[in-house]
Structure 1
Amino acid sequence: MKIFLTDAEATLSLGINLGESLTPGSVILLEGDLGAGKTTLVQGIGRGLGIVEPIVSPTFTLINEYTEGRLPLYHLDLYRLEPQEVAALNLESYWEGVEFIPGIVAIEWAERLPYKPDSYLSVSLTYGDEGTRQVELVPFNYDISKVMTVI
């Protein structure tokens, strides 16, 4: 499914809608160039989850955990890592729900993952003309029906 986004506010709004409908254990794999809107979308997801703390890109910290919303949000950024470094992080502990409370896992620069979860929503953001964006949502063994009702 492709969605045309007129500006950053539309990207934020899409994220809010997603955050309101995502269920525990949802993994969102985000791809797109620098500035394409990945962090903005995650900020919207956080708002949709009821998180009031400012959501910032974890480019240097790698992982930010927000636990005060409807569900926890685990926001990861793999921009500065090589695949072998990512593998050493054992990120599956976030989506398997063994060590962490099941929540929403949002991973920026997901193309750097050497492995993927069994179920996830792939989100690809691209630039359009005059500041517009296009987002493509592709589910992989992921029930997108509840998400589709709010988009």
Structure 2
Amino acid sequence: MNRRWSAVVAAFGLALLLGGCSAPAGLAVFQREASAQDRLPAGIEEPQDPPLVNSRFLAEADGVRHFAAQAEEGALACLVAVPGGSKDYVAGCGRSMTAGPIVSVSGRGVSAATLVPDGFDTTEQQVQGWRKLQGNLLIGPR
């Protein structure tokens, strides 16, 4: 009988240990409180399936504001690039729980931009001329 309880307690302890070490879904930027600056500009058409529930301003570069947005469970992350003084924007979405880049966007008036997961090593991209403006945002060479 003691062996059974020992096995159950050991399994439960292992589950707690592993559960405590796992990272939350999504990007760390969503862990902070949202501010007015984090709202996507009016006119941005958001996907409906799944709907986006959070957005955060990441950085501005070359007159373009860059936002990260995520779906409810944090498994889907989007990058939205909005040129200043324009109603045009570019956006793309990808799985946030990835080891590589999540999504890249570019378009009229928008330099190439890439959303990367937390802790992503950007050394190779920076050697190639990409700029790291924020922990999750790279802007392509001009």
TM-score (norm 1): 0.32
Report the structure, 1 or 2, having the larger strand content: 2
